[in-house]
A = this chain, B = another copy of it.
Amino acid sequence: MASGTLYTYPENFRAYKALIAAQYSGAKVKIAEDFIFGETNKSDAFLKKFPLGKVPAFETADGKYITESNAIAYYVANEQLRGKTDIERAEIVQWFGFADSEILPASCAWVFPLLGLMQYNKQTIEHAKDDVKKALTALNSHLLTRTYLVGERLTLADISVATTLLHLYQYILEPSLRKPYQNVNRWFQTVIYQPESINVIGAFKLADKTLEYDP
């Protein structure tokens, strides 16, 4: 049974991947209590273990170090979450890539300016909207006849993609914007409202109204 310490700041959607996976697998994942983001991860001790200084970062009980959120989630998961056949495991890797290359860039480009994290640029946002539409359309199509992304049960694919969609569903996808993606909405809520997810994320609220840009 995997166990270890997870270094992260609070409400880090990337850290949620491993934390939710651990809820399913029973892995003992302790969140480092004395971790101060911006300080601890720049210390020599931390950089010795995790040279890039990024989080989430995981130290296993037997002294190994893992970075990259999908990798940590994989490590603390169980066989069901990791996929039971070669094709399932390959498909899970595929969805990791989909989340990181098709959803995340577009989500950040749309959400960050509205949260005041980056400069607002109308053209960038318009491109982001197109990219989000493409990704959600592909996802919606895939989920037409499926309950989960891979196989018949929840896997790391669902956890990874759903957590990567959290910002979009929290800040952007008000009812009219998410209406074209009914299969995604159904699947997303299936994943996020599992007890294992609620234990980590809490009671997640879908956007009532798209966040507006406030100069």
B-binding residues in A (CB < 8 A): 2, 51-52, 60, 64, 66-72, 74-75, 82, 86-87, 89-91, 93-94, 96-98, 100-102, 134, 137-138, 141-142
Contact = CB atoms under 8 A, between A and B. Distances in A.
20 contacts: A51-B141, A52-B102, A66-B90, A66-B91, A67-B98, A68-B97, A68-B98, A70-B97, A71-B90, A71-B93, A71-B96, A74-B89, A74-B90, A74-B93, A75-B87, A82-B89, A93-B93, A96-B97, A97-B100, A100-B101
Copies assembled: 2
A15 to B, nearest CB: 14
**Highest count of chain B CB atoms <10 Å: which of A52, A102, A134:** A52
Nearest to A50: B138
A52 B93 contact: no
Contacts of A96: 68, 70-71, 93, 96-97
Contacts of A141: 51
A161 to B, nearest CB: 12
A68 B112 CA distance: 26
Contact of A138 (B51, B68, B90, B100): B51
**Highest count of chain B CB atoms <10 Å: which of A89, A94, A98, A100:** A94
A144 to B, nearest CB: 11
Contacts of A101: 68, 100
Nearest to A86: B75
Contacts of A75: 86-87, 90
Contacts of A93: 68, 70-71, 74, 93, 96
A87 B60 contact: yes
A101 B52 CA distance: 12
Contacts of A90: 66, 71-72, 74-75
Given A66-B94, A68-B98, A97-B68, A134 B87 contact: no
A135 to B, nearest CB: 8
A71 B150 CA distance: 13
Contacts of A87: 60, 64, 75
